[in-house]
Structure 1
Amino acid sequence: MLKFVTVDRDMPIKRDADDRKSDFHEIYAEYADTKAKEQAARCSQCGVPYCQTHCPLHNNIPDWLRLTATGRLQEAYELSQATNTFPEICGRICPQDRLCEGNCVIEQSGHGTVTIGSVEKYITDTAWEEGWVQAISPAVEREESVGIIGSGPGGLAAADRLRRAGLKVTVYERSDRAGGLMTYGIPGFKLEKEIVMRRVKQLEDGGVEFILNCEVGEDISFDAIRGKHDAVLIATGVYKSRDLAGPGSGAEGIVRAIDYLTASNKVSFGDTVEEYESGELNAAGKNVVVIGGGDTAMDCVRTAVRQGATSVKCLYRRDRANMPGSQRETQNAEEEGVEFVWLAAPKGFAGDPVSGVMVQKMRLGAPDASGRQSPEVIEGADYVEEADLVIKALGFSPEDLPQLWGTEGLEVTRWGTVMADFTTHATSLDGVYACGDIQRGASLVVWAIRDGREAADAMLEYIDQSTAIAAQ
């Protein structure tokens, strides 16, 4: 260990931009065993591991780095899996630059952070190849059952934990495949779909039942789900896209990011998507403008490049230093030919079908309530950005679940998220819990996994108490 003074930080090989932008495969190669050991050995094994502290799951990172460096890879996997239900997914899509790696002690001392995410990915990919990942096999089967609404990272993490405890688990999913945004929201160049599907299959093989194409409130009522199960978890995520007002905002050719990314991912599965075939959700040969600065915007611009767009521009109303998306993803997008237009906000749209975005130039003024500098309009600096396809990537809001499901007593916050305790995840309804984005608002996959695991533990305790009371 402690090789950071003699061994430099070295990421896995990244495919050349001209090569990778022609397909949807992941852009980073896998570590070789020797390289993974070498990079893991750079860990300083510091007394206060800030990497672990800043990981939402509090993964025991120093210990599984040490085990990897000393060749004890199966033990490293078991330690990683103990706190993280899907380490190979987090290793691929977590913004490590803002979490574990961004707070690495040796990074702060100028030696370059340990490549935690890449080692995490390597450990679990190796575990799958070696057969160390097994189907769930509870020590004791129980009669109680739980219903989980939504099969995103929070729902799947809870399903895994509850099934391991021996409960009967049924997952209700409105899409035709499980996985939520991991399946249809995140492009394959960040997370190849086979990675998600094999986890879904592991859960199925372990006894988790998935009911797909099931819209709660239409195909089955929420009350029916509550009546069928001993406890229920709401893990629907947030899918309502934030919209833009302004002249021409309803023009043809202005689309939502979720629709655009879902269509692209369905095509990657081999599905026939009418809106893609017609060109409505296909960037091929078009001048594309994406509005937004988060990770969803990065997914959209990089997808448009791979679909063969003539040009791809990203408009963001703040500067690069203040954008919410991953700096690593921004760099990848720039390498692939995306042009970022900083300090620019849409004022309206020209043409129908759309032919351009009316842009207001901005400057940063005083900080807002969150501490970020608020953008201010520069008068007289408007111009039109040419566009044949405009993608709105402005974030997501929760749907009105009480109204959609016809449910009384399910309390929501003023933002529309389900009101639930942030420790137990219990809602205002007895035996009903909530986790992930539908509770905390649009956030990271790793936070949803943490919420799902916590909610599962609280549900298990609730069921145990209810069973004990019934037995008296």
Structure 2
Amino acid sequence: MTQSQMLRFISVEKEMPLKRPPEIRTEDFGEIYGQYLTEKAEEQAGRCSQCGVPYCQTHCPLHNNIPDWLMLTAQGRLEEAYELSQETNTFPEICGRICPQDRLCEGNCVIEQAGHGTVTIGAVEKYITDTAWEKGWVKPIRPAQERSESVGIIGAGPGGLAAADRLRRAGIQVTVYDRYDRAGGLMTYGIPGFKLEKPVVMQRIDQLADGGVEFVLNCNVGEDISFDAIRGKHDAVLIATGVYKSRDLEAPNVGAPGVVRAIDYLTASNRKSFGDEVPEFDSGELNAKGRRVVVIGGGDTAMDCVRTAVRQGAVSVKCLYRRDRANMPGSQRETQNAEEEGVEFVWQTAPRGFVTDDDGAVSGVIVQKMRLGAPDATGRRSPEVIEGADYTEASDLVIKALGFEPEALPALWNVPELTVTRWGTIKARFNTHETDLPGVWAVGDIVRGASLVVWAIRDGREAADSILAYLEQPAQVAAE
């Protein structure tokens, strides 16, 4: 196939990989999309228009060279496509699965705007890298030369792991500290298996460990080791903790048994997928089986919760969101998947409080109806309460998926000189990711606020390059 044979979007329709029917996929936590056959991947990649200004690449946080690796895939040059994809993205098989492509690359595809249906970029990206793993094209991390400098990374999520990969390939000694017993952060314990099967994450972590990255797990900075001790041990430190403090409601009976946080609920479910002992799940506290579930929120975490509850065997699953469908922050693709699986969305509603039974456990949500009023400072229409329209929604498991905020790291780590913004996020320079503390960098959600995995990967890669430049300085001074 030549480049001139690429522009097949007029004759070939968009076709996603086969999606398992809802009645089958809700019986397990396996991914819902199958894999392209080789011929189908080549055909779909060949729909790319190879436009002169690739908006897909512009709207990708990593600026992946999408048109070129689509062309290579269409030409059957898959190993080259993988190599090109890997140049800009540390974890393409993960981004291919969980990036909201409908809001990023695919949503800005030129042929999508022209009405022909977007190129299925995410599905092709997943196919390329899954094939690379199967064929042995993903090479071990083997630095050409070892270096004596060491970097400590706090947090084993996507930002920290992306930085660890880049630093280790340059021969730097890397130690990653994380509070959990497995690395991966929310990729491991937050995102459900039906979006990101856990072996996909574990194979990258195994690659890093095999390549010489040291993981210190079950390690709470500030308790098991001080931040100052980590600084003293390493030539540079990268903070990549993410944001794990759940936003909460102020409402009557919000603390009643049966009203739980999304992070606790999703973590329990993912731990069970690993075969762990999870008493809170086994007792029913964090298990939706046989229960009437209400999820509060409209982001991707809320979508993860409603779809998890369906798979656990909930009697009913409803999602309350204070705005309408067009204004929800979560992926429209995920919303559609949830609706296919039986989730009911109750738009323009919010909880006013909670009803409890004789034992004090939650038995319902007092729901207030909302309408969209005048736009706020961002141009988004603000929800307003419709007085006198309250009703009670029966529920014995309420999951709060209201987003996440940063923990107060300066206080937790006894580092008052670590500068934070008024939102509590760490203040770091946008181009280098340096903080106000010498030799300390910060990336990902702890700087941005709750955001996407792909942005954390970009931050981690950029910070690694900045750290490498910093570590070169003493050698430069000595040479002069």
TM-score by length of 2: 0.98
- Compute the displacement of 1:468 (Å): 3.0
Find the counterpart in structure 2 of residue 444 from structure 1: 452
Find the counterpart in structure 2 of residue 359 from structure 1: 367
Distance (Å, rounded) in 2 between the aligned partners of 1:135 and 1:229: 25
- Compute the displacement of 1:409 (Å): 1.1
2:192 aligns with one of 169, 187, 192: 187
Deviates more, 1:62-71 or 1:461-470: 461-470
- Aligned amino acid, residue 150 of structure 2: S
- Aligned amino acid, residue 144 of structure 1: E
1:219 aligns with one of 215, 221, 224: 224
- Compute the displacement of 1:470 (Å): 5.4
Distance (Å, rounded) in 2 between the aligned partners of 1:295 and 1:135: 33
- Compute the displacement of 1:378 (Å): 0.6
- Aligned amino acid, residue 319 of structure 2: C
Please give the per-residue CA displacement for 1:290-326, whole angstroms capped at 9, x wherever unaligned. 0000000000000000000000000000000000000
- Compute the displacement of 1:471 (Å): 6.1
Say whether residues 1:384 and 2:392 are aligned partners.
yes
Find the counterpart in structure 2 of residue 89 from structure 1: 94
- Compute the displacement of 1:134 (Å): 1.3
Find the counterpart in structure 2 of residue 69 from structure 1: 74
In the TM superposition, 1:42-441 aligns within 5 A as: 42-351=47-356, 352-441=360-449
DSSP 3-state at the match of 1:350: strand
Aligned residues: 472
Structure 1's consecutive aligned runs of 4 or more residues displaced over 6 angstroms after TM superposition are none
Distance (Å, rounded) in 1 between the aligned partners of 2:375 and 2:253: 31
DSSP 3-state at the match of 1:399: coil
- Aligned amino acid, residue 325 of structure 2: R
- Compute the displacement of 1:135 (Å): 1.2
Distance (Å, rounded) in 2 between the aligned partners of 1:389 and 1:137: 49
Distance (Å, rounded) in 2 between the aligned partners of 1:200 and 1:356: 42
Distance (Å, rounded) in 2 between the aligned partners of 1:226 and 1:309: 47
Distance (Å, rounded) in 2 between the aligned partners of 1:366 and 1:81: 45
Distance (Å, rounded) in 2 between the aligned partners of 1:192 and 1:470: 49
Find the counterpart in structure 2 of residue 9 from structure 1: 14
- Aligned amino acid, residue 453 of structure 1: R
- Aligned amino acid, residue 438 of structure 1: I
- Aligned amino acid, residue 160 of structure 2: G
Distance (Å, rounded) in 1 between the aligned partners of 2:170 and 2:286: 43
Deviates more, 1:369-378 or 1:317-326: 369-378
- Aligned amino acid, residue 101 of structure 1: E
Structure 2, unaligned runs of 5 or more: 1-5
- Aligned amino acid, residue 473 of structure 2: Q
Find the counterpart in structure 2 of residue 34 from structure 1: 39
Distance (Å, rounded) in 2 between the aligned partners of 1:102 and 1:278: 43
Distance (Å, rounded) in 2 between the aligned partners of 1:311 and 1:13: 27
Please give the per-residue CA displacement for 1:14-47, whole angstroms capped at 9, x wherever unaligned. 0000000010000000000000000000000000
Please give the per-residue CA displacement for 1:313-356, whole angstroms capped at 9, x wherever unaligned. 00000000000000000000000000000000110001020000
- Aligned amino acid, residue 411 of structure 1: T
- Compute the displacement of 1:154 (Å): 0.2
Distance (Å, rounded) in 1 between the aligned partners of 2:172 and 2:16: 41
Give me the identity figure in percent: 78
Distance (Å, rounded) in 2 between the aligned partners of 1:470 and 1:374: 59
Structure 1, unaligned runs of 5 or more: none
Find the counterpart in structure 2 of residue 462 from structure 1: 470
Find the counterpart in structure 1 of residue 3 from structure 2: none
